[in-house]
Amino acid sequence: MLDGGVLIGGKWQAAASGATLPVVNPSDGETFTKIARGAAEDIDRAVKAAHKAMEGAWGRMPAVERGRLLTKLGLAVAANHDELVRLEATDTGKPIRQAKADIVALARYFEFYGGAADKLHGDTIPYLDGYTVMTIREPYGVTGHIIPWNYPAQIGGRSIGGALAAGNACVVKPAEDACLSLLKLADLAMQVGFPEGALNIVPGLGEEAGAALAAHPGIDHISFTGSPEVGTLVQQAAAKHNGQVTMELGGKSPQLVFDDADQEAALPFITNAIIQNAGQTCSAGSRLLVHQSIYREFIDAVSKRFEALRVGSSDMDLDCGPLINKSQHERVGGFIQRAGKAGLQPRAAGTIAANAPKGGYFVAPTLFTDVPPNHELVTEEVFGPVLAALPFKDEDEAIRLANGTPYGLVAGVWTRDGGRQMRLARTIKAGQVFINNYGAGGGVELPFGGMKRSGFGREKGFEALYGFTTVKTIAIKHG
Ligand code: NAD
């Protein structure tokens, strides 16, 4: 299974072409296993198997039974915690403790959606005399899921969990760079008794399997998490058959620190929000906006934290692991080099451990200060452990800067002033605003998604369940 299969209609099998792709460990650059190179023919068979499941056992299963299966899957994830952690850490390079947190969250998604499956109610609507009108929430049918490599388990789990709980059958195209935990998850789903075809998984390249999934007319809804550029391609492909889409795209999220902030409380959150997963997090806090009256002292404190950061392989379990691959490594290095050429010297940087494997794609976390608001470090998603800091003079300027990029995913606001907390929460354009914290510990229950170029539609919480259903109105004239 982990060495080259696709799961279609409940059976593991080789890709139709028989082709495979090498899987590289980002901690040392060595190939350690292979996955199937699924493509259009496999996607087509998976979509057909999913439709068959909707017409059969899965489509007819009562919501409470669906919920029980999801709960069982969550328990199976917990029971296989150590193996899943090992797969996720080796595949993505993330430090072991981050992989552990991700697998705990994966189990929690199935616990949450298992409990939610039979609580998805419609409404009755007061209408004309002699009528009774109701709405019911129905699954779309067959949903497609295109997953990125940065958090395969968490992002896969949240997307698949919501879609299955709502009663859809899924076809999943995980990322070619990291998907072993999701292959294992699909295997566990079969073991706990999901009917064949309810969950199908076809690893492969984006431009082959991904493009085929996005374009397939049998896909009723597609949930895409990834870059804005590929998101556009997926929307264009789905538009050809007027398919529904949810887009979870990139971010350039700001952390705003006011002069009345609890600086000690803010510091660990601000550092962690940019180094978590080596900065390869859509909601990374990659811009630090600080009130000018405390700017120097606060930057000194952030610098000290950056200088103490250490980078190494996933099993060294340090502050940061490697980036996912060579091209990301070159891309992030390019941002740092161009900043240097533009006269911006790093204010502080962490250290790559001397005993870290030589072939790993490591980048030391780097802090740039006094970055001009229009510089690419402030406006573009780097997707690496690079923090750009700049001062603001008052609340109006802070809001202007916070909203000054095409993205709108997450924001953090650090202030003790209650009025300001609410004003900023209401004026910042972001799908999530955190006051005096950042990320709220992940929050499976908390709707997550973007505004502006960060996307539309919501994952997580009950909002995701609504997003994976369509509403039918039934009007009965009974006199
Ligand atoms: P990506 O867009 O390159 O790839 C994402 C997925 O799309 C992969 O499975 C890939 O194989 C597939 N894909 C690539 N080309 C395709 C095509 N032509 N048609 C269909 N599918 C295709 O993104 P990535 O590099 O894996 O992830 C990084 C990006 O994802 C960043 O921009 C990040 O911010 C974003 N992201 C967003 C969220 C969120 O929830 N908003 C979460 C994680 C990552």
Residue whose CA is at the smallest distance from ligand 1 atom 39? 248
Q: pLDDT, tens digit, for every residue of 327-342?
A: 999 999 999 999 999 9
Helix orientation angle between 81-92 and 96-116, rounded to the nearest 10 degrees? 120
Q: Where are the domains of the chain?
A: 5-249+456-475, 253-443
252 CA from centroid of ligand 1 (Å): 16
Report which secondary-structure segment, H or E, holds 32.
strand 30-36
358 CA from centroid of ligand 1 (Å): 28
Residue 245, ligand 1, Cβ within 6 A? no
Nearest of 251, 278, 250, 253 to residue 412 by alpha carbon: 253
Residue 226, ligand 1, Cβ within 6 A? yes
Query: Could you tell me the two tokens for 133?
Result: 């009108």
pLDDT at 441: 77
pLDDT at 3: 65
Residue 164, ligand 1, Cβ within 6 A? no
The DSSP output letter for 438 is S
With 80 as the cut, is the pLDDT of residue 357 above it? Answer: yes
With 80 as the cut, is the pLDDT of residue 175 above it? Answer: yes
Residue 323, ligand 1, Cβ within 6 A? no
Q: How many helices (H) and strands (E) does the chain have?
A: 16, 24
**Whole-number Å distance between alpha carbons of 296 and 414:** 17
pTM: 0.97
pLDDT at 440: 80
Residue 208, ligand 1, Cβ within 6 A? no
Q: pLDDT, tens digit, for every residue of 70-103?
A: 999 999 999 999 999 999 999 999 999 999 999 9
Q: Using an 8 Å Cβ cutoff, are 347 and 367 in contact?
A: yes
Residue 215, ligand 1, Cβ within 6 A? no
At 1, is the pLDDT very low, low, confident or very high (cuts 50, 70, 90)?
low
Q: pLDDT, tens digit, for every residue of 368-407?
A: 999 999 999 999 999 999 999 999 999 999 999 999 999 9
From residue 266, alpha-carbon distances to 30, 45, 78, 413 in Å are: 38, 50, 32, 9
At 2, is the pLDDT very low, low, confident or very high (cuts 50, 70, 90)?
low
| 16 phi/psi in degrees, rounded to 5 | -55, -35
Fold of 5-249+456-475: Aldehyde Dehydrogenase; Chain A, domain 1 (3.40.605)
303 half-sphere exposure, CB direction, 13 A CA radius: 12
How many residues does the structure list for the chain? 479
The CATH-assigned architecture of domain 253-443 is: 3-Layer(aba) Sandwich (3.40)
Residue 407, ligand 1, Cβ within 6 A? no
Residue 285, ligand 1, Cβ within 6 A? no
Residue whose CA is at the smallest distance from ligand 1 atom 42? 282
Residue whose CA is at the smallest distance from ligand 1 atom 10? 206
Residues paired with residue 21 on neighbouring β-strands, in sequence order: 35
Q: pLDDT, tens digit, for every residue of 251-283?
A: 999 999 999 999 999 999 999 999 999 999 999
Ligand 1: which of 225, 325, 386, 456 to mutate, judged by most atoms within 8 Å of the beta carbon? 225
147 CA from centroid of ligand 1 (Å): 7
Percentage with pLDDT > 90 across the chain = 99
With 80 as the cut, is the pLDDT of residue 52 above it? Answer: yes
Which residues form the catalytic set? 248, 282
* Averaged pLDDT of the chain: 97
**Whole-number Å distance between alpha carbons of 166 and 182:** 20
Ligand 1: which of 207, 230, 382, 451 to mutate, judged by most atoms within 8 Å of the beta carbon? 230
Q: pLDDT, tens digit, for every residue of 186-243?
A: 999 999 999 999 999 999 999 999 999 999 999 999 999 999 999 999 999 999 999 9
